[in-house]
Amino acid sequence: MKKSFSRSAGWIDRSLKSVWHPCTQMQHHETLPLVALKSGKGAWLFDQDGNRYLDAISSWWTNIFGHANPFISKALKDQLDTLEHAMLAGCTHEPVVELSERLSVLTGNTLGHCFYGSDGASAVEIALKMSFHYWKNSGHPEKQEFICLKNSYHGETIGALSVTDVTLFRDSYAPLIRNSNIVESPDSRHAKDGQTATDVANAAADKLEALLQEKSAKIAAIIVEPLIQCAAGFVMYDPLYLKRVRELCDRYKIHFIADEIAVGFGRTGTFFACEQAGIWPDMLCLSKAITGGFLPLSLVMTTDDVFNAFYDMDITRGFLHSHSYTGNPLACRAALATLDLFKNHNVIARNQTVSRQLSEALKPLEIHPRNKHFRNKGMIWAFDVDLETEKQATFPRRFFEKALQHELLMRPIGNTVYLMPPYILNGEEIGLLAHKTISVFEEMMKS
């Protein structure tokens, strides 16, 4: 089923000359196909030649209701003719107010103040600056350091890289980056014989406590990806860890920043991943799926306590952070439509059925001898492929190419293959996705 890229070849050549593609060594595209997309509908993307691809990773985890979702599309068209954009300093508008209120209700009004940005990394930077400035305003200017987890990923701007522990993204820029305190990840794969995921979570939390005992006076916040460290290769862990972090943050007086940019919006089986631990952070970062993949938008939700520390007549005590498109009405409207879809279609409950069906269909992978740690949480599946050393470096690219030949858009991280499909898959698409993933994997194991 080798695809020919003949008609779209023109687009590909022009793209490779004029577009610098993200997270890519451009020279790899001398042999690796670039997909020249024309349109999308539901779970599928269509290229210039009329080939289709099931978007098995929701286009970098954003398109939870599929492409060209008609409901979000209609909401946007209405907003487009009303108010496309206005600055949010000194002005406000219905979409941004309604979105802030509705998200706040979803946290039981614990996180009642929303600060807006445009992408995930800027939300992370906002949270870090907010925590730092909170302590300064509260008479603790000495609290200047952050804690992040081993293999954490919080974005790729210079500030976000300071709490990102991914060598590949960090090392080239090391001299520019401020170091954070890196603590052990509660990665449940670390369980030794006789140990449970809960034991691993407790051991990791004990290590965090040891660090806090030593230097909490200097620490502003810990930032954590709740339940799953996605970019690290879908590291999953016991919710108990989040509970322990919450307790430790309270005891040692540091902020808890939850980065739900990847896991928020129902991905792990609850609307927010933190719900599974029964806790709320001091700051919650959201982006990616928030607009159903239609427009860039991010935000940080926070508590009255944090908000009040900035509330004053003195301008320098205010949170003087902004982006040009802060709170863009179109993006907020898309987010409101996304929330409507959750409510009107009982998405969290429906996903349980989809999750069960896809897990069942993926059974042959779960028991395959070349796979380790097959894991599933909500609408995420991942497994680690056992590879000869010399095949490791090129594995993601070769898998990507093979998947395209089977009408799948997939992008493994290292030797970890994952599925993070849109929630709207029907029965036939669930079967196709499982069947095609298994075929790609089996062919990869032969080559």
Ligand X SMILES: *Cc1c(COP(=O)(O)O)cnc(C)c1O
Contact residues for ligand X, defined by CB under 6 A? 119-121, 124, 153-155, 225, 230-231, 259, 261-262, 287-288
Shortest distance (Å) from residue 295 CB to ligand X: 12
SS3 for 421?
Answer: coil
Q: Say if residue 431 carries a ligand binding annotation.
A: no
Radius of gyration of the CA atoms of the chain, in A: 22
Question: Which residue in 287, 276, 291 sits closest to 341, CA to CA?
Answer: 291
Of 222 and 309, nearer to ligand X (C-beta) is 222
Shortest distance (Å) from residue 403 CB to ligand X: 21
What are the phi and psi torsion angles at 371 (to 5°)?
A: -105, 140
Q: Say if residue 237 carries a ligand binding annotation.
A: no
Q: How many CB atoms sit inside 10 A of residue 145's CB?
A: 18
Of 96 and 128, nearer to ligand X (C-beta) is 128
Shortest distance (Å) from residue 425 CB to ligand X: 21
Shortest distance (Å) from residue 128 CB to ligand X: 12
Q: Say if residue 120 carries a ligand binding annotation.
A: yes
Q: Say if residue 251 carries a ligand binding annotation.
A: no
* Separation of alpha carbons 361 and 128, rounded Å: 42
Question: Which residue in 261, 260, 292, 288 sits closest to 274, CA to CA?
Answer: 260
Of 95 and 120, nearer to ligand X (C-beta) is 120
Question: Which residue in 126, 79, 64, 110 sits closest to 298, CA to CA?
Answer: 126
Q: Say if residue 60 carries a ligand binding annotation.
A: yes
Give the H/E segment covering residue 60.
Answer: helix 58-61
Shortest distance (Å) from residue 124 CB to ligand X: 6
Q: Say if residue 382 carries a ligand binding annotation.
A: no
Q: Say if residue 17 carries a ligand binding annotation.
A: no
* Separation of alpha carbons 383 and 371, rounded Å: 6
Shortest distance (Å) from residue 225 CB to ligand X: 5
Of 284 and 444, nearer to ligand X (C-beta) is 284
* Separation of alpha carbons 362 and 176, rounded Å: 43
Of 153 and 325, nearer to ligand X (C-beta) is 153
Encoded tokens for 352: 């349980």
Of 42 and 120, nearer to ligand X (C-beta) is 120
Shortest distance (Å) from residue 140 CB to ligand X: 26
Of 22 and 175, nearer to ligand X (C-beta) is 22
Of 55 and 209, nearer to ligand X (C-beta) is 55
- Using Cβ positions, the residue closest to ligand X within the complex turns out to be 120
Shortest distance (Å) from residue 323 CB to ligand X: 12
The dihedral built from the CA positions of residue 8, 9, 13 and 16, taken in this order, carries a sign that is: positive
Task: Please check whether residue 15 is in contact with residue 417, taking contact to mean a CB–CB distance below 8 angstroms.
Answer: no
* Separation of alpha carbons 422 and 62, rounded Å: 9
Q: Which residue has the tokens 């059974």?
A: 363
| Cα angle 247-116-281, degrees, rounded to a multiple of 5 | 5
What's the gap between Cα 250 and its chain centre? 26
Q: Say if residue 288 carries a ligand binding annotation.
A: yes
Annotated binding site: 60, 120-121, 153, 259, 288, 322-324, 411
Binding positions for substrate are: 60, 153, 288, 322, 411
Q: Residues forming the annotated binding site for pyridoxal 5'-phosphate?
A: 120-121, 259, 323-324
